[in-house]
Structure 1
Amino acid sequence: MTQRTLDPEQIQALDPSAIPRIRLPERAAHFSTRAARLRRLADHNPIGGYVRLMAALVDAQQHALEHYSAPMPSREDIANAQRHSMPILPALSGERDPQWRSVLYRLADRVEAAGAVTPALANVLDTLRAMDEAQLEAQADAILAQRYTEIAPATAPFIMAALQVVWTDLASCIDMRDVPYVDAPGVCPVCGSPPVASIVRIGGAYQGYRYTQCGLCGTEAHVVRVKCTNCDSTKGIAYQGIDGGNPALKAESCDECHTYRKIGYLEKDMDFEPLADDLASLTLDLLMSDAGYRRASPNPLLWPEVPGDQ
């Protein structure tokens, strides 16, 4: 594993207001693009079987999104969020469309119909279907709040996938001008969830700018480069990669809070997708753990067994 500490980049003489603040998810291809990337990354991958399973689940998400429409926030709710600098669609509000459970069952059915159901997967799907409303809602609450000791890791990716459909639907339909500036650093301005990874984009107004991708609603928020996306520090930022691995993928570590998140560079790999590339690079996670860093937040499709494993 190589390590290099970067000097802060020269600040460009541009009006900050000219930088696009957020990128809302592209409804027509948000999940299908991710699924395609997962399938490509599965080849010769130590967890290739799991990555392919998650590709099937993400494909099911795209199909579910095409047939789902969540209730939108009222103008009063939007104004209140703006007034208090709070996320416009807060995941931790305790209120969510109960139809998310129907989405969950559709995802399970579609993954099962895709074939290659192992006994272990069949057991997970049976467990999901056997859970009552209260159990499912409790698991959703724990997952969104990242209360690891209450989360069942085997079923969590499926529950999270259903929640992602709901919030991606909402995020893809809101007016970008309604999204507030939030006070809490690092959280998604749309739903308040933590990012899964970040991406340095290319082309047009996004050229060279870094965006963190929300693990729940898929919204991307601009964050200046060489800055910790967990604690906002600009000190002790370093970038680690794997010799011979994808040069577009690095782990951005912070010596202030001893956490890391992965970052990808589209100029080096046009197909980089934050959640997919994060999930398929478990070897880098193991190396970062050995180096004494912990993940700032889990991948939405792979949950730790115990809190210390995140």
Structure 2
Amino acid sequence: MVQRLLQPGEIESLDHTAIPRLLLPHPGSLFSARAERLRNLAAGNVHGIPVEEALRGYLSLMATVADAQAVVVADLGRDGVPLPDESAMTLAHEHNMPPLPATGTRPAAWRDVFARLLDVLAAAKDAPPQLAAALDTLRATEGAELEGIADAILGTFDEGADPLRAPFVAAALQVTWSVMAGQLDPAWAQPLVTGTLCPVCGSHPVASVVRIGGQSQGYRYLHCSVCESEWHMVRVKCSHCESTAKVAYQGLVDKDADPVAENKEAAGKGKTLDKANDPTKVARAETCDDCGTYRKIFNQEHDFHVEPVADDLASMMLDVLVSEAGYARASGNPLLWLKEGA
């Protein structure tokens, strides 16, 4: 979700003491933007996120899935997935609970969304050859088994989800919840007791992102893996245990880069080194030595087009390096399910 940049006159009129605590999704543009980002990542066009050759085909496949999500959203319309009963949402609100809980009884509409998604994917012109076989398997999945996969995705992000089918089921769930979340009033929804779970649906974040533009300028938001909402959390704070004592940042540095030489060259020309658009700061892992976990943080200040779900999916090299350093990933990406031990 890209925030609109304000003009100087608009900036002056803002209440700079008011931080937008919650950014609700705009599914009508979110999935098409994600598809474009995934294709740029697959093509190696994002300097801050180097992508291994073996991963590029998968990113292209997920771009096709994101395109299909965008088509389904357009077909559904803004209120195409009905909100839960108003009394249930009000009760949740009064008790600081998520109004659109991802766990528990799911809206029946999600199965229709799933079927529509498969139909759109079947008609995709740029789909890889192996997609047809995957769609056959997905269509043959019995209702109880399909619901079991959804339970695993919306529950623990752990066991119970078939790695081959789960990304497609997750894509349908993202459409379902983002369409519902987009109908809410951000001023009505409120933070949960813990700041580490989505205030809209109660799910874990997939990553965090530093936003630019308007009143969100420079603030860090956690991006929900299910409903695509974003909620504010201060920087240099573990998004898993909320500790601030032992937080650090690990990034990928170009082995050929020489920042000292670059600074000397810039100084020799009477210039200062541009600190914006620094590829090494586009994607980093925020590690915490108190709980031993990490979660990635993407910075729109250094790449305007960062997209948390897509960028997290593409930066597996960073996952490998941070895991080798002894940190465990705090939560997964709904579009990637690895077999145990992978």
Number of the residue aligned with 1:209: 219
Question: How far 1:28 moved relative to its partner?
Answer: 2.3
CA distance in 1, matches of 2:128, 2:178: 29
Q: CA deviation at 1:17?
A: 6.7
Give the RMSD, CA atoms, in angstroms.
Answer: 1.8
Deviation by residue 1:83-139 (Cα, 9 ceiling, x = unmatched): 2110010001x2222221222222223223224655643332211110111111111
Number of corresponding residues: 293
| Structure 1 residue aligned with 2:58 | 50
Cα deviation, 1:140-168, whole Å, max 9, x if unaligned, reads 01111025221101100000000000000
Q: How far apart are the structure 2 equivalents of 1:159 and 1:21? A: 29
Change (3 A) 1:199 1:118: closer
Alignment of 1:37-186 (within 5 A): 37-44=37-44, 45-46=51-52, 47-68=55-76, 69-92=80-103, 94-115=104-125, 120-146=130-156, 148-186=158-196
Q: 1:222 aligns with which of 219, 222, 232?
A: 232
- In 2, distance between residues paired with 1:156 and 1:246? 32
* Deviating more after overlay: 164-173 vs 146-155: 146-155
Residue 287 of structure 2 corresponds to residue 253 of structure 1:
yes
What amino acid sits opposite 1:261 in the alignment?
R
Whole-Å separation in 2 of the counterparts to 1:180 and 1:236: 28
Letter in 2 for 1:18: A
Which residue number in structure 2 is paired with residue 272 of structure 1?
A: 306
**1:10 aligned residue:** none
Q: Matched residues in 2 for 1:272 and 1:98: separation?
A: 33
CA deviations over 1:10-44 (Å, ceiling 9, x no partner): xxxxx997111000011320111111111100014
In 2, Cα distance between equivalents of 1:221 and 1:277: 18
Query: 1:38-68: per-residue Cα shift (whole Å, max 9, x none)?
Result: 1100014320100000000011101111122
**Secondary structure class of the residue paired with 1:18:** coil
Deviations, residues 286-310 of structure 1 (Å, cap 9, x unaligned): 111111111111111001212x65x
Contact in 1 for aligned 2:22/2:230 (Cα 8 Å) = yes
Q: Distance in 2 between matches of 1:135 and 1:16?
A: 50
**Number of the residue aligned with 2:257:** none
CA distance in 1, matches of 2:106, 2:17: 33
On the 8 A contact 2:248/2:286 being kept in 1, the answer is yes
Determine helix, strand or coil for the equivalent of 1:264. strand
Does structure 2 retain, via aligned residues, the 8 Å contact 1:148–1:304? Answer: no
1:147-196, CA deviations, whole angstroms, 9 ceiling, x for partnerless residues?
52211011000000000000000011111122132113300000000001
TM-score, length-scaled by structure 1? 0.90
**1:285-296 correspondence runs (5 A):** 285-296=319-330
Matched position secondary structure for 1:178: coil
CA distance in 2, matches of 1:247, 1:278: 14
Kept in 1, the 8 Å contact 2:167–2:337? The answer is yes
What percent identity do the matched residue pairs reach?
49
In structure 1, what residue type is equivalent to 2:304?
Answer: M
CA distance in 1, matches of 2:157, 2:309: 21
Q: Is the 8 A contact 1:260 1:294 kept in 2?
A: yes
Instruction: Find the aligned partners of 1:107 and 1:248 in 2 and give their Cα distance.
Output: 31
Which whole-Å CA distance do the structure 1 matches of 2:16 and 2:93 have between them? 20
Give 1 or 2 for the bigger CA radius of gyration: 2
DSSP-derived class of the 2:200 partner: coil
For structure 1, the 5+ residue unaligned runs are: 1-14
SS of aligned partner of 2:296: strand
